[in-house]
Amino acid sequence: MPITDVSLEDGARITHPDLVDLAGCRIGADARVGPFVQIRPGSIVGPRCKVSSHSALGPGVALGEGVFVGHGVVIGEAGAEASGPTSIGRPTSIGRPTRIGAGASLGSRATVLPGVTVGRGAMIGAGAVVAEDVPDFALVVGVPGRVIGDVRDRAAAQDCAPEPA
């Protein structure tokens, strides 16, 4: 599989370079890209991100710092090519870029449709289909994806939980 016109920043790692399809993208410092990943032109994988196996980022997708992408996740128009000349991180034929905020986490087999923004620190459940913008720190599950809580509330609840007997 090809790797063409890819910018790798310091410490960025492609675990199996023969098993990816990367074109016209930038991989940030200390980011990791697993096998069988496809990243289309104009996309940015931010610093310290992890893109797990069998995932696909369409053209013009931007992952903020520290984003976790689970196995088999699709973000934007997977397999699509950007229309016209592209510049990394610019909108593509969909008119609006697809953005994943810093520290967000996308569970395995989740799908984020083109032009959607997922807020920083948000958690998208496995298999969810996200068709609308997601606020910062939202917890999203289901098809279609719906906000069911705030990840900060869950962390506080776990901190206050009684110790097991």
- Which residues are known to be catalytic? 71
Cα–Cα distances (Å) from 90 to 14, 25, 37, 59, in that order, read: 23, 11, 21, 9
CB atoms within 10 A of CB 80: 17
**Spatial CB neighbours of 59, under 8 Å, sequence gap ≥ 6:** 40, 41, 42, 43, 76, 77, 80, 81, 82, 86, 92, 93
Strand partners, 26: 7, 44
